[in-house]
Amino acid sequence: MLQENNRLKKVRDFNLLMKYGRWTNGRLLDLKYLELAKIMDYLPKKEDVEKFEKQLRIAFTVGLKINKKAVVRNRLRRQIREVVRLLVKENKLKNGYYLLFVARKDVLGEEYTEIEREVKNLLEKAKII
């Protein structure tokens, strides 16, 4: 489980990410990312500028189109979250980003090592590692 300060939860933050973020696509996952230093014009009024620029917040989605069973979707979400949690723990990710991992249909049936390789590949494409 990610630490509380690394979770992307606020609707305001999701709206910023969806409006100004960029996509990176892979075979198993997609990554929507937003570099916070580039959107300083849209900084929320009550936020401290230096704190806002240095945060790293991450969210994960596995939609109903992937599988109708919640058990399967939750397992995929946990696997992706664990890969990212280990990268955050090792301080391999740069600060100052909002990240949203979106699972694709092809992720079903893949092993943990494949998911790990895909996450690292997406983060390298986005220049976050």
Into how many domains does the chain fold? 1
CATH number for the domain harbouring residue 38: 3.30.230.10
Interatomic CA distance for residues 99 and 77, integer angstroms: 14
Structural domain harbouring 26: 4-125
- pLDDT the model gives residue 43: 75
**Strand 29-35 with 56-61, pairing:** unpaired
Chain mean pLDDT for the chain: 93
In this predicted model, what pLDDT tens digit does every residue of 31-87 receive, in sequence order? 999 999 888 777 777 777 778 888 999 999 999 999 999 999 999 999 999 999 999
Spatial CA neighbour of 36 closest among 94, 95, 97: 97
